[in-house]
Structure 1
Amino acid sequence: MSLQIADLSCGERRRALVAALALACMPTSAQAHAWNIPYFLPVPLWLYAYAATGTLIISFMILMFAPSARMPAIGPRPAARKALRIPAGALHAGQIAIALFLALLAVAGMAGTQNPFQNISMSGFWIWFYLGSIYVSAVFGDLYAFVNPFCWMLRIAARIFPAIEIGRYRYDRRLAFYPALAAYGALIALELFGIGKPGEVSLFLLAYAAYAVAVSVCFGREVWVKYFDALGLLCRLCAKLSPLKWLPLKGGDVAIQFRNPIADMARDDRSPISIAAFLSFMLASTAYDALRDTVPWNRFFWGSIYPHVVRHVPALGTNYAHSGDALLIWQWTAFAATAAAYYLFFRLICSLQARQSQSSLNGKALARKFCVTLLPIALFYNVSHYFTLFIGQGRQLLALVSDPLGLGWRLLPTVPSGDTAAPVINMGYIWHAQVLLILAGHVLSVYVTHVITTRDRDLVRDGVIAQLPLLVLTIALTISGLWILSLPLA
């Protein structure tokens, strides 16, 4: 994610972008994806790749010879023994607080400064609400399902328009979660291709609220929450990795109990194919966000693709504004191609697995069964890509709260001066933290794959053979993730 100060006109912005990217194609000594600070890897990248691959293979072999008694049981869910009870009033208070926070972001984006570094709407939405909701769900469970601010808004609106609660039409279940995927794609497109002004956050929040109302009027509030709410689905999926299970009780209270997330993931192994597409897009969008700002990627466009385009359209060689349009078209095309490539690669691996398997499951059925193995890979790669934003923006939290609109307010007298220099983060620590995060996600994926395979009667006969294609997928994603993070930024 990149925040841009967009005070230039459209034509000037495009020309500046073209000039910046042309400079980005010059040689650089940076050897790591290191936030504009040159950093040399202590050892060559191929050694990291070999070490990561070896770790995955060793983990795979250990699981192959692990006694089945030590594997998590995935029989019927055990009855709850002890659970923490949260009253409905606390959940409603949290839901209202989050709704008011989003309202503040919408107002700040419209009425405050358009400098994204001084307006709370950019950091508040992208980091504290969007990314924060994902990470909180992965650690503490699906809290978002009970404090969803848009659900609260729909309940209020349903008192005036009862059709919002029940809807007017029947939703075609064959569409499954593709509407949520489309909404998620729109959110990521705003992140990648927006101009970086706080006003964009306001427009998106208003548009998303209107989207929720319109869909609820057509199909009902519960259908919108389940099939159309991209943020809700994203949090539900990430909550599968949490050791905490949130169970609704009578009267609106909620019980929280411990569970084995791996066993639950192996139990719920018949996801719609749209979930495979959703998780593939989650992984692909993060990879593209990391790749598009690197020197080799921009050099590939300006050095290999753009000259061929100019050869057929000479006007692009002299008109910088048109060159900016060509770059934008290339970025959109590459974004769509990357998303499609990750999904098709996963489907190809599942098809290969079906061919060599003795079970009656075809490639689509295996993709539905094993798509959940993409979840830890996508989530941990997302954390490795964005966790530095929490570090950087965390230092600005008090300043943004003290002056949310960027108008020079000082609501908190204890806020430190903005002139104080922030300490520089050791890039070696960041790089190795990213490596460990990526490796942890892929090792967890190997473990989930093994549990699903060994607990399935159709696949257990295949043994190692049934898991080899997915092991190859995991190794390929590990190496590609490390390679992307190692590229120098443009």
Structure 2
Amino acid sequence: MHVQGSFVARTRRTRGWPAAWPAWIVVCMPSAASAHAWNIPYYLPVPLWLYAYAATGTLMVSFMILAFAPGARVPDRRGRSGTRTKALRIPPSIVNAVQAASAAFVVLLIVAGLAGTANPFLNVAMSGFWIWFYLGSLYVGAILGDLHAFTHPFALLLRIAARCFPVLERGRYRYPPRLASWPALGGYIALIALELFGAGRPRDVSLFIVAYVAYALIGACCFGRERWLVHCDTFGLLCRLCAKLSPLKWRRGANGYVIVEPRNPIADMSRDAPADTSVVAFLTFMLSSTAYDGLRDTAAWNTFFWRSIYPHIVGVLPSLGKNYAFSAEILLTWQWLAFALVGVAYFLLFRGCCALGAIGTQSSSGGAFFSRRFCLILLPIAFFYNACHYFTLFWDQGRQIVRLMSDPLGLGWNLLPVAAPEDQVSAAQALVNVGYIWHAQVLLILAGHILSVMLTHAIAMRSGQMAGRAIVGQLPLLVLTIALTISGLWILSLPLA
């Protein structure tokens, strides 16, 4: 999802790829490279390939330290013996109040989209849903833990509805185990399709939320409230996955209290049972959809279509050569097809690397089981790339919360004591130095991939295999991690069309 304010850069092609280690020496040396952010020219201090090689070297060093350093061990999530950790106890009244507020916010989004202005910049439905409800839930979960599990607005809706219609509590049918989390993936695909191919109208957001509420009620009626929340709820699964990155664990205690206690996320994830194939597909789609969103509006991607794809279509159907209106429909069809192909390609790429890893460990379970065991290594990569992708959008639109809540329908209200327009910070004053944005994105991508390397090693060590085989099995996943690092930096560096 590109808006004005998203950072893009472009680097010149350079012949020859020097060795990785000299990149550490020259990484601080200035060099010519062009980039743009907010339509402001920006020159990278060094060419993009130096960033790529420096990131590659960092990942390789991290892998070698974990694999060969004698003191590198996976920490035990139970902590040291005799050590007591302090836990925070949250009263149920506070949790219930936050959940009620989140449900009221969802109702506000529906009303604003249906009854408010059609201007997406003045209606709270657009920023409220995409920035605060969708992205905000993911980022809060990754930092503070699975708060969403206790404040989920749709869970409150189903609980209230189940009191009126008891069938929603139990459901009419037994949930088929083969479905696993595939319904949640279907909802996720619909969500991203709305983001990528929707018209950007507040009304569309409201209709999507209404459709999701109907989906929740129908699913609960068929399989029961708890089953729907566990297997079919897209937002619930997204938040549960991102919360695995958090150093805080949330659980229900006695008398309705919620207990929040520290934990080691790497150790906890390494102990998780192998996930279902549907979760593998969910994580690969989480990564591929963000990558495609960043790629589809770039100059390189559009040039590829108009110079490499469209001429072949016109060659088969010459009448389309002068029908410029129909060419837009062809472009839209190509975008849908590419959206599907990129998702499938990421899934097959991960499965292929896992098959090589299974061969390297001489495992009899095969690549499918290997991918289910190691699929969580995609989580930090996908999450941090998501944070990079929406970095400027979150900064630009997230700070509008007070103004939009003061006038949620965009009808000229002033419900909250906000500053007058002339006293507010101007768009130019709110801009962040473009160099800071680029380097923050580089560091975020690198941090996600380093966590992925650490998690790969932790899972391999927990599997009980011989050290040599475990290291060999990690090599294909290390290559995949390096490839994703370079491709992520490359996509972020491309100029918009």
**Structure 1-normalised TM-score?**
0.91
Q: Which residue does 2:464 correspond to in 1?
A: 457
8 Å CA contact 1:118–1:400 kept in 2: the answer is yes
SS at match of 2:260: strand
8 Å CA contact 1:370–1:449 kept in 2: the answer is yes
1:204-232 C-alpha deviation (Å, 9 max, x unpaired): 11000000000000000011100000000
Mapped partners of 2:366, 2:304: distance in 1: 38
Residue among 85, 88, 92 paired with 2:89? 85
Instruction: Please identify, of 42-51 and 319-328, the stretch whose mean Cα deviation from structure 2 is larger.
Output: 319-328
Mapped partners of 1:141, 1:35: distance in 2: 33
Tell me how far 1:318 sits from its aligned partner: 2.5
1:425 matched to 2:429? The reply is: no
Higher relative contact order (CA 8 A, sep 6+): 1
SS at match of 1:255: strand
Moved over 6 A (4+): 75-80
Q: 1:451 to 1:68 in 2, by over 3 A?
A: farther
Q: Which residue does 2:488 correspond to in 1?
A: 481
8 Å CA contact 2:123–2:404 kept in 1: the answer is yes
Aligned pairs for 1:100-249 (under 5 A) are 100-249=104-253
Tell me how far 1:74 sits from its aligned partner: 5.3
Q: Which residue does 2:450 correspond to in 1?
A: 443
Q: Which residue does 2:383 correspond to in 1?
A: 379
Aligned pairs for 1:394-433 (under 5 A) are 394-417=398-421, 421-422=426-427, 423=429, 424-433=431-440
8 Å CA contact 1:358–1:461 kept in 2: the answer is no
8 Å CA contact 1:438–1:478 kept in 2: the answer is yes
Mapped partners of 1:315, 1:429: distance in 2: 49
Instruction: Please identify, of 47-56 and 57-66, the stretch whose mean Cα deviation from structure 2 is larger.
Output: 57-66
Q: Which residue does 1:72 correspond to in 2?
A: 75
Q: Which residue does 2:45 correspond to in 1?
A: 42
Q: 1:477 to 1:397 in 2, by over 3 A?
A: same
Tell me how far 1:315 sits from its aligned partner: 3.4
Mapped partners of 2:183, 2:400: distance in 1: 35
Mapped partners of 1:33, 1:72: distance in 2: 43
Mapped partners of 1:193, 1:361: distance in 2: 40
Tell me how far 1:469 sits from its aligned partner: 0.7
8 Å CA contact 2:3–2:393 kept in 1: the answer is no
SS at match of 1:115: coil
8 Å CA contact 1:74–1:266 kept in 2: the answer is no
Counting aligned pairs with the same residue, the percent is 63
Q: Which residue does 1:348 correspond to in 2?
A: 352
Q: Which residue does 1:20 correspond to in 2?
A: none
1:318 matched to 2:322? The reply is: yes
1:430-481 C-alpha deviation (Å, 9 max, x unpaired): 1110000000000010001111112221353414212111100100000000
Give the RMSD, CA atoms, in angstroms: 2.0
8 Å CA contact 1:288–1:338 kept in 2: the answer is yes
- Structure 2's unaligned 5+ residue stretches are 5-31
8 Å CA contact 1:316–1:323 kept in 2: the answer is yes
Mapped partners of 2:110, 2:71: distance in 1: 53
Q: 1:114 to 1:3 in 2, by over 3 A?
A: farther
Q: 1:199 to 1:369 in 2, by over 3 A?
A: same
8 Å CA contact 2:381–2:448 kept in 1: the answer is yes
SS at match of 1:195: coil
Tell me how far 1:416 sits from its aligned partner: 3.4
1:287 matched to 2:291? The reply is: yes
SS at match of 1:85: strand
Q: 1:69 to 1:345 in 2, by over 3 A?
A: closer
1:62 matched to 2:65? The reply is: yes
- Structure 1's unaligned 5+ residue stretches are 5-28
Q: 1:373 to 1:269 in 2, by over 3 A?
A: farther
Tell me how far 1:317 sits from its aligned partner: 2.4
* 1:128 maps to amino acid: W
How many residues are matched? 466
Mapped partners of 1:63, 1:477: distance in 2: 20
Q: 1:224 to 1:31 in 2, by over 3 A?
A: farther
1:434 matched to 2:441? The reply is: yes
* 1:379 maps to amino acid: F
Instruction: Please identify, of 96-105 and 398-407, the stretch whose mean Cα deviation from structure 2 is larger.
Output: 398-407
Q: Which residue does 1:12 correspond to in 2?
A: none
Instruction: Please identify, of 63-72 and 52-61, the stretch whose mean Cα deviation from structure 2 is larger.
Output: 63-72
